[in-house]
């Protein structure tokens, strides 16, 4: 079961009674093991048990973080910072992730003003470990056009493009406002009426295109990457990266209510 499949099983009332207040971020947190499906007050005990039996959540994150921290210790920070768009500050590297500044020490400790989730730690450490090189191409491509993108395209479309499309279709104005607050810039010259470019990490910009539903054509959302994206993160990490953006948008929409 993925996030969209779980979301479809929820009441979709956005009743505000669960900790996440909205059904989509609730589904995200259940899938990531941050909350339990029983926190939904509108599901019966039978429905909760049925969904719980279908969920497979394994928390391998802390072990992966520990391994990545060990790998980070072997990296030349000065050289890597230049390659991936970081900025050195003593023995730490400063990176912007989803519009927020993080400081990552040479032994992998991560500091920021807010809370650092396990997913943020994994992505930041993996970004440094990958140590991609080269300039951006300026050529936008779909996820499936990335070298290894086809292997994970079904997951990306479901977890990212479809999830974002549900969000836009339900709260377009608020989603656009939150995107702007996260650093997204409106773009012109595309067939889609709504287009934004946003840097998720210094060398990983994405282009978000949204078409509203019209007559016989349903709404659609496409997410494009610079063709160099895989130099800086593997495709699975790119999915996690976009999921993090979607989660931030959801929380931002909730804060506006």
Identify the pLDDT of residue 29.
Answer: 83
pLDDT band at residue 71 using 50, 70 and 90 as cut-offs:
very high
Rounded CA separation 135/114 (Å): 30
Q: What is the pTM of this model?
A: 0.78
**36 pLDDT more than 80:** yes
Contact assessment for residue 253 and residue 24, using Cβ atoms and an 8 Å cutoff: no
Who's near 142: CB < 8 A, 6+ residues apart? Answer: 149, 222, 223, 224, 225
Identify the pLDDT of residue 96.
Answer: 95
Who's near 179: CB < 8 A, 6+ residues apart? Answer: 196, 198, 208, 249
Determine the 3-state secondary structure of 200 from DSSP: strand
Average pLDDT over the chain, rounded to an integer: 91
Strand order in the sheet with 194-201: 140-142, 220-226, 204-211, 194-201, 185-186
Identify the pLDDT of residue 194.
Answer: 95
pLDDT in tens, 183-233: 999 999 998 989 999 999 999 999 999 999 888 889 999 999 999 999 999
Q: Which two tokens stand for residue 237?
A: 């990490």
Rounded CA separation 102/88 (Å): 12
pLDDT in tens, 242-257: 998 998 898 888 888 6
Domains of the chain, CATH where assigned: 3-54 (1.10.15.40), 61-130 (no CATH), 140-256 (3.30.310)
Q: Which two tokens stand for residue 249?
A: 């948008």
- Phi/psi of residue 242, nearest 5 degrees: -70, -35
């Amino acid at each position: 079961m993925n996030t969209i499949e779980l979301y479809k099983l929820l009441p979709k009332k956005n009743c505000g009674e669960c900790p996440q207040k909205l059904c989509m971020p609730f589904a995200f947190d259940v899938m990531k093991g941050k909350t339990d499906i029983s926190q939904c007050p509108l599901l019966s005990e039978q429905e909760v048990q049925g969904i719980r039996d279908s969920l497979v959540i394994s928390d391998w994150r802390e072990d992966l973080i520990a391994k990545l921290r060990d790998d980070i210790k072997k990296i030349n920070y000065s050289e890597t910072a230049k390659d991936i768009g970081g900025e050195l500050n003593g023995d730490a590297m400063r990176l912007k992730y989803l519009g927020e500044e993080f400081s990552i020490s040479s032994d992998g400790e991560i500091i920021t003003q807010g809370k650092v989730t396990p997913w943020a730690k994994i992505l930041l450490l993996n970004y440094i470990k990958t140590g991609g090189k080269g300039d951006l191409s300026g050529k936008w491509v779909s996820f499936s056009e990335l070298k290894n993108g086809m292997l994970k395209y079904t997951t990306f479309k479901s977890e990212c493009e479809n999830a974002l499309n549900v969000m836009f279709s339900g709260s377009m104005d608020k989603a656009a406002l939150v995107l702007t607050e996260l650093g997204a810039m409106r773009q012109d010259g595309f067939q889609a009426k709504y287009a934004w470019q946003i840097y998720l990490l210094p060398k990983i910009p994405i282009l978000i295109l949204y078409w509203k539903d019209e007559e016989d054509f349903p709404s659609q959302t496409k997410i494009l990457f610079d063709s160099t994206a895989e130099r800086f993160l593997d495709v699975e990490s790119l999915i996690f990266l976009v999921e993090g953006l979607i989660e931030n948008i959801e929380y931002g929409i909730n804060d506006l209510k």
